[in-house]
Amino acid sequence: DGSELVDIDNYVSANYVKPDPDFFGMAKDKNVILVTLESLQSFVIQNDVYGEEITPFLNDLIGDSYYFDQFYHQTGQGKTSDSEFLVENSLYPLSRGSVFFTHAGNELDSLAQNLSEQGYYTSAMHANNKSFWNRDVMYQSIGYDRFYSAADYHITPDNSVGWGMKDIHFFEQSVDLMKEMPKPFYTKMITLTNHHPFRLDEEDQYISEYDSKSGTLNRYFQTVRYMDEAVKIFFQKLKDEGLYDDSIIILYGDHYGISENHNEAMAQYLGEDVTPYVSTQLQRVPLIVHIPGVTDKGNGEVLSKVSGQIDLKPTILHLLGVDTKNSIQFGEDLFSEEHNDFVVLRDGRFILKDYVYADHTCYAKETRESTDPAFCDPFKEKARKELEYSDKIIYGDLLRFYESVEYINK
């Protein structure tokens, strides 16, 4: 009957952070282009392989954007689909499996639905088979007006590699599709080339391979470099086609690309052992919020707020001037002055401003060594509760009862 939702609603309401009036509505009525960058981790940003920049375009773009350098992925086994779930709903994914498969019929209060109510045309764009990750089913619950999948793209052996269409072609064809969309639109694009096992045609290799015992890590830098080139071409095409000025572009990494199986090679690249502390810090993924007319022309800023994918939904809605006070959400607006430096990963690890809790140990960021557990202890219960409440919503399909809970509280 939804009585369980009352407790959760109270918890969420108590944790609501109010938007900064300078940011609220800053991008009102602009198109929203959300770009999911496959397997992109933060450690490659402003970094190099044998002197060659790995992400030259993104490095420049960061200077023209709000860049969040302490932003974490919070995905589990559902990988890309988990990141989509987090961003659309500001709920945690599940500890096992993918919500996209296990609870595809749930009632949601998604970003797409919220934007539809504001008159936006909403869609997802991904040049893969529509049923991968059960997207064709789950996207109906999320409520997109349209899913541009493999069938909507011109895919040939020539413009494909590995998993499917190469990102450069994906971005080019997507801009052509965007031109036809009713305005304003919200679209979520999902790239594909920078995916394990990170294979590229020779002509697409802009930098040389790394040299370690892990072929995966060695090739990863090259496919990241290719994806960077694709994003550069995408921005140019948005400008050429007149879509750039009326849009905001938000790019984020979906999850790690290099698993713990490659710790030895990673240690060689990083020049330090991959301890549980380092491994947790490697779960950072880039978040770049680019707002033409605001952050471009060198007006960017690096924001070191400890945050995660769960924070994106309220952040985006507030930028567009949409209130989220009555939403069931676990994230906090990243531009709010009240945003808390706290993020919970799906496996229960959590990160604070000065501490990292991993492997049942409290680490100090300053020393990168274990420290007095008392620094982490007060947050254990909050981390546990967040995951538990979010799980309850999913398992009980509790958002079905949301309208009535709102009624009870009034």
Window contacting ligand GP9 (CB under 6 A); options: 61-69, 173-181, 189-197, 384-392: 189-197
Angle made by CA atoms 146, 393, 308, in degrees to the nearest 5: 70
Distance in angstroms between the alpha carbons of the first and the last residue of the chain: 17
Size of the site for ligand GP9 (CB under 6 A): 8
> Between the CA atoms of 22, 27, 32 and 33, what dihedral angle is there, to the nearest 10 degrees?
-70
Tokens of 262: 């490659």
Residue 81 vs 315, nearer CB to Mn ion: 81
Which residues, 6 or more positions from 239, have their beta carbon under 8 angstroms from its beta carbon? none
Q: Which of 80, 191, 223, 324 is catalytic?
A: 80
Most distant CA pair in the chain, distance:
63
Among 44, 66, 67, 79, binds ligand GP9 (CB under 6 A): 79
Residue 100 vs 186, nearer CB to ligand GP9: 100
Please state the closest distance from residue 352 (CB atom) to ligand GP9, in A. Answer: 28
Window contacting Mn ion (CB under 5 A); options: 30-38, 109-117, 307-315, 355-363: 30-38
Residue 89 vs 275, nearer CB to ligand GP9: 89
- 191: annotated active-site residue: no
Cis ω before 184 (30° cut-off from 0): yes
Residue 124 vs 334, nearer CB to ligand GP9: 124
219 contacts which partner out of ligand GP9, Mn ion, none, CB within 5 to 8 A by kind?
A: none
**CA distance readout (Å), 205 to 57, 164, 221, 226, 259:** 15, 17, 10, 7, 22
How far apart are the C-alpha atoms of 406 and 410, rounded to whole Å? 6
Residue 100 vs 210, nearer CB to ligand GP9: 100
Q: How far is CA 99 from the centre of its chain?
A: 16
Among 204, 228, 254, 311, binds Mn ion (CB under 5 A): 254
Residue 80 vs 280, nearer CB to ligand GP9: 80
Sign of the C-alpha dihedral computed for residues 41, 46, 52 and 58 taken in this order:
positive
Please state the closest distance from residue 221 (CB atom) to Mn ion, in A. Answer: 17
Please state the closest distance from residue 195 (CB atom) to ligand GP9, in A. Answer: 6
64 contacts which partner out of ligand GP9, Mn ion, none, CB within 5 to 8 A by kind?
A: none
- Residue entry with tokens 């430096």: 341
How far apart are the C-alpha atoms of 274 and 259, rounded to whole Å? 11
Span 94-153, contacts to ligand GP9 by CB under 6 A: 126, 128, 132
Among 73, 166, 195, 219, binds ligand GP9 (CB under 6 A): 195
How far apart are the C-alpha atoms of 346 and 245, rounded to whole Å? 37
Please state the closest distance from residue 118 (CB atom) to ligand GP9, in A. Answer: 27
Among 42, 65, 75, 80, binds Mn ion (CB under 5 A): 80
Please state the closest distance from residue 126 (CB atom) to ligand GP9, in A. Answer: 6
DSSP 344-395: E-TTS-EEESSEEEETTEEEETTTSSB--GGGTHHHHHHHHHHHHHHHHHHH
Size of the site for Mn ion (CB under 5 A): 4
Pick left, alpha or beta for residue 134 (phi over 0 → left; psi -120 to 50 → alpha; otherwise beta): left
Please state the closest distance from residue 272 (CB atom) to ligand GP9, in A. Answer: 27
State the catalytic residues.
Answer: 80
Interface contacts to ligand GP9, rule CB under 6 A: 79-80, 126, 128, 132, 190, 192, 195
Interface contacts to Mn ion, rule CB under 5 A: 38, 79-80, 254
